[in-house]
């Protein structure tokens, strides 16, 4: 075989091997998906992996209360009473601490339009995000060493524009990648928060990407 063609040949063999492991039976039988779509009234829906652990309503309310307490301890006066966590799910591998998480919440109120979100001042958003992270440093739990802002941008998620904030959370157990999507739709704002351990990114990055892309919000 020509040496110039060897890399392409190797890649083709590897791709065929991975596909053979991943889904020959699924492609042939079109069996049940490993994701399930959760519908929230007629306004929103999202797909969640079937093997992730769904948190019950009481735990979701505790998370809501916890988030308000943390920001208030940091000197940020934000009430969470009208914020509803629609779904919260955790993925576990070999540890009691979640390897990946997702939370989808909605809040009613007066918000920017999709056009305003599309034309957001990214420099201003980044400055605000840096300021919030700096304030939160003093109210972090003991297992969190610090947080670092990675990116702030506006992108299309399906037909809607989302304001994306990405940060790294340095836990005692290792770094974690955290992403927040903020989507303004009329009198509602949807927030999708996803995270995963960087050491397990090979597994959870594509899963999180699929969860994000599966989000559907009625305009």
Q: At 164, give phi and psi (nearest 5°).
A: -105, 130
* pLDDT one-digit tens code per residue, 158-180: 999 999 999 999 988 889 999 99
State the average pLDDT over residues 32-36: 96
State the average pLDDT over residues 201-216: 98
- Fold of the CATH domain 51-202: Protein Transport Mog1p; Chain A (3.40.1000)
Work out whether the CA dihedral 153, 158, 161, 163 comes out positive or negative.
negative
pLDDT at 118 over 90: yes
Residues 6 or more apart whose CB falls under 8 angstroms from that of 187 comprise: 108, 109, 110, 111
CB atoms within 10 A of CB 59: 13
pLDDT at 87 over 60: yes
Which sequence spans correspond to the domains of the chain? Answer: 51-202
- The mean pLDDT of the chain is 87
CB atoms within 10 A of CB 119: 12
Give the bridge partners for 216, in sequence order.
45
**With contact defined as beta carbons under 8 Å apart, do 161 and 155 qualify?**
yes
Query: For residue 76, what pLDDT is reported?
Result: 85
Residues 6 or more apart whose CB falls under 8 angstroms from that of 4 comprise: none
Could you give the CA distance from residue 169 to residue 177 in angstroms, rounded to a whole number? 6
* pLDDT one-digit tens code per residue, 8-24: 444 444 444 444 444 44
């Amino acid at each position: 075989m020509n040496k110039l063609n060897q890399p392409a040949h190797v890649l083709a063999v590897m791709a065929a091997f991975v596909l053979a492991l991943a889904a020959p039976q699924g492609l042939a039988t079109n069996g049940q998906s490993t994701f399930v779509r959760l519908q929230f009234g007629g306004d929103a829906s999202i797909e969640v992996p079937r093997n992730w652990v769904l948190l019950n309503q009481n735990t979701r309310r505790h998370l809501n209360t916890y988030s308000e307490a943390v920001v208030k301890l940091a000197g940020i006066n934000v009430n969470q009473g009208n914020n509803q966590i629609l779904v919260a799910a955790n993925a576990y591998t070999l540890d009691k601490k979640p390897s990946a998480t997702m939370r989808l919440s909605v809040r009613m109120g007066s918000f920017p339009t999709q056009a305003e979100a599309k034309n957001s001042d990214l420099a201003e958003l980044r400055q605000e995000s840096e300021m919030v992270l700096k304030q939160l440093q003093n109210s972090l739990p003991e297992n969190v060493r610090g947080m670092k802002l990675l990116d702030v941008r506006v992108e299309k998620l399906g037909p809607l524009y989302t304001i994306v904030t990405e940060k790294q959370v340095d836990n005692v157990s290792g770094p974690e990648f955290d992403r927040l999507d903020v989507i303004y739709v009329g009198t509602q704002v949807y927030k999708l928060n996803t995270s995963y351990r960087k050491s397990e990114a090979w597994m959870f990055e594509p899963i999180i990407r699929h969860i994000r892309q599966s989000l559907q919000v009625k305009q």
